[in-house]
Structure 1
Amino acid sequence: MPLRDRGKIKWLPAHFMPEHRSMLRKLENEQKAQNKPLIDDYELEEYDNKIHYAMEFSFLLKVKVWREGFFHEYKGRVNRLDGISRKIYLELEDGDLEKIILEEIAGVEVEDQCRES
């Protein structure tokens, strides 16, 4: 009867504890996280002007958002602008509605319709 050796399998670390795996995932996310960019008042005013411009003429708006250490990009039309809670309701291209807090915004670009022709 030949000896059955598991080879490399027996030397791999045993990740059988869910707490250990979740701690490893959390550590990896913390290492990949980026710092929040510093935005001055002039940039905030510029972002605000671009958002109002895109809302008035119903242009596409590309918004770069910083959330929990990572950047996300959303592209859509401004559905509603709430000045009291300081949120933008962006209707994405797939029809979903994304709520974006103004303090999370790291960049704004307006895509004019004139470029397509």
Structure 2
Amino acid sequence: MPHKDRGLLKWLPAHFMPEQRAMLKKLEIEQNYQNKPLIDEYEMLELENRIHYAMEFAYFVKVKIWREGFFHDFKGRVNRLDGFSKKIYLETDHGYIQKIVFDEIVGVEVEA
């Protein structure tokens, strides 16, 4: 009977325990972690002015945010601003409402 080779499978690492998989996944996330850029009050004021401008004329905005060590981009129209809780409600192209806190925002581009 011929010998059946496992191919490349024999060279893959063996993960025996779920704790080991979780540790490796956590390590990979930590290696890709990025620091939040520092934004002074003048830059924050400029970002807020862009958001107000886009909301007034119903332009699309591209908002770049920083959450838990990673950057995310959202594109849509500003549905409403909540000054009390300092949140932006952004309506995306697919009709979903995305809540964004002012402190998470690191960049805003208005697409006229």
TM-score, normalising length from structure 2? 0.90
Show the counterpart of 1:115.
Answer: none
Percent identity (aligned): 68
CA root-mean-square deviation: 1.6
In structure 2, runs of 5+ residues without a counterpart are none
Measure the CA separation in 2 of the matches of 1:44 and 1:61.
Answer: 16
1:11-50 alignment, distance < 5 Å: 12-50=12-50
Which residue number in structure 1 is paired with residue 55 of structure 2? Answer: 55
**Whole-Å separation in 1 of the counterparts to 2:72 and 2:22:** 23
Change in Cα spacing, 1:7 to 1:59, as seen in structure 2 (3 Å) is: closer
Instruction: Tell me which amino acid in the other structure corresponds to 1:95.
Output: G
Aligned residue in 2 for 1:75:
75
Q: CA deviation at 1:13?
A: 2.8
Report the CA distance between 1:41 and its aligned residue.
0.6
| d(CA) in 1 for partners of 2:24, 2:91 | 35
* Unaligned ranges ≥5, structure 1: 113-117
Cα distance in 2 for partners of 1:6, 1:77 equals: 53
| Aligned-partner Cα distance in 2 for 1:21–1:110 | 42
Q: Distance in 2 between matches of 1:36 and 1:43?
A: 14
Greater shift, 2-11 or 70-79, is seen at 2-11
1:81-109 per-position Cα deviation (integer Å, ceiling 9, x unaligned): 00011000000011111000000001001
Distance 1:34 1:2, change over 3 A: same
Q: Which amino acid aligns with 2:71?
A: F
Deviation at 1:7, TM superposition (A): 6.7
